Structure 1
Amino acid sequence: MSANYLSVTLLTGYIARKFSSDPYLKKVYVQGEISNFKRQASGHLYLTIKDEKAQIRAVMFAKAAQKINFQPEDGMKVLIQGRVDVFERGGNYQFYVEDMQPDGVGALFVRFEQLKKSLTEQGVFNVSHKLVLPTYPKRIGVITSPTGAAVRDIITTLKRRSPQTEIVLFPAAVQGDKAIDEISHQIKRAGVFSPEIDVLIVGRGGGSIEDLWAFNEEKVVRAIYESRIPIISAVGHETDTTLSDYAADYRAPTPTAAAEIAVRQTVDILTNVLTTQQQLAQSMKHIISMKNQRLLVHRNALAAHQPQRIIEQNYQRIDNYKQRLSNLLEGKVSQQKFALERVNWRLLQASPADRIQRYHEKWENQSQQLTKNYRKQIDDKRLALAHVVEKIEAVSPMQVMKRGFSLIETQQHKMVKSVEEVAINETLQIRLSDGIIKATVTDKEMASNE
Structure 2
Amino acid sequence: MQIIDNSVHQRVYTISELTADIKSLLEENFPFIWLSGEISNFRVPVSGHFYFTLKDQKAQVSAVMFRGQNRNLRFVPEDGMSVTGLGRISVYEPRGSYQIILEYLEPEGVGALQVSFEQMKARLSAEGLFDDRHKKPLPFLPEKISVITSPTGAVVHDILRVISRRFPNCHVEIIPVRVQGDEAEGEIVSALKLLSTRDDADVAILARGGGSLEDLHAFNSEGVTRAIFDSPIPIVSAVGHETDFTIADFVADLRAPTPSVAAELVVPLKQDLQEACSGLSNRLIRQFHRYLDQHRSRVSELSERLTDPKKRIQDMRLMADDLTARLIRVFRNDMRQRREQLSWRVNQLKALSPTAILERGYSITRTVPGSVVLMDSHRVSKGQQLEVMLAKGGLICRVEGKTEDGQTDKTDI
Query: What's the TM-score, normalizing by structure 1?
Result: 0.61
Q: Which residue of 2 aligns with 1:216?
A: 220
Structure 1 gap ranges (5+): 314-411, 414-450
- The CA distance in 2 between the partners of 1:301 and 1:51, in whole Å, is 105
Q: CA deviation at 1:76?
A: 1.0
Match of 1:106 in 2: 111
SS of match in other structure, 1:113? helix
TM-aligned CA distance change 1:209 to 1:67, over 3 Å: closer
SS class of match (1:111)? helix
* Partner in structure 2 of residue 198 of structure 1: 202
Greater helix content: 1
* CA shift for structure 1 position 241: 1.2
Shift of 1:257: 1.1
Q: Which residue of 1 aligns with 2:235?
A: 231
Distance change (3 Å), C-alpha of 1:288 and 1:128:
farther
Map of 1:40 onto structure 2: 45
In structure 1, the residue matched to 2:141 is 136
RMSD across aligned C-alpha pairs, in angstroms?
3.2
The CA distance in 1 between the partners of 2:17 and 2:121, in whole Å, is 47
Cα distance, 1:246 vs structure 2: 1.0
Return the offset for 1:222.
1.4
CA distance in 1: counterparts of 2:73 and 2:307, whole angstroms? 93
Q: Which amino acid counterpart does residue 121 of structure 2 have in structure 1? A: K
What is the match of residue 150 of structure 2? 145
Q: Which residue pairs with 2:245 in the alignment?
A: 241
- The structure-2 alpha-carbon separation of the partners of 1:295 and 1:221, relative to structure 1 and needing over 3 Å to count, comes to farther
How many angstroms does 1:63 deviate by? 2.8
Distance (whole Å) between structure 2 residues aligned to residue 163 and residue 172 of structure 1:
25
Is 1:279 matched with 2:283? Answer: yes
Q: Deviations over 1:22-41 (max 9, x none)?
A: 31233232111111222223
Query: What is the deviation of 1:53?
Result: 1.3
Over 3 Å counting, the alpha-carbon distance change for 1:154 and 1:14 in structure 2 is: same
What is the CA–CA distance in structure 2 between the aligned matches of 1:206 and 1:261, rounded to whole Å?
A: 19
Name the residue aligned to 2:28.
Answer: 23
Structure-1 separation of matches of 2:238 and 2:117: 18
Most deviating of 285-294 and 125-134: 285-294
Aligned equivalents of 1:125, 1:266: Cα separation in 2: 32
How big is each residue's C-alpha offset from its partner over 1:398-428, in whole Å with a ceiling of 9 and x where there is no partner?
xxxxxxxxxxxxxx99xxxxxxxxxxxxxxx
Question: Aligned pair in 2 of structure 1 residues 85, 290: CA closer, same or farther (>3 Å)?
Answer: same
Question: Percent of counterpart pairs with the same letter?
Answer: 42
2:19·2:96 contact (CA, 8 Å) conserved in 1? no
Aligned-residue offset at 1:73: 1.0
- Shift of the 136–24 alpha-carbon distance from structure 1 to 2, 3 Å rule, reads same
**Partners of 2:19 and 2:305 in 1: CA distance:** 118
Q: Is the 8 A contact 1:13 1:88 kept in 2?
A: no
Q: How many residues align?
A: 307
Deviations 1:170-198 (A, max 9, x none): 1111111221111111122122337x111
Match of residue 71 from structure 1: 76
Give unmatched runs, 5+ long, in structure 2. Answer: 1-9, 318-337, 340-413
Q: What is the TM-score when the length of structure 2 is the normalising length?
A: 0.66
Q: Match of 1:269? A: 273
Contact map agreement 2:166 2:264 (CA 8 A) in 1: yes
SS at match of 1:189: helix
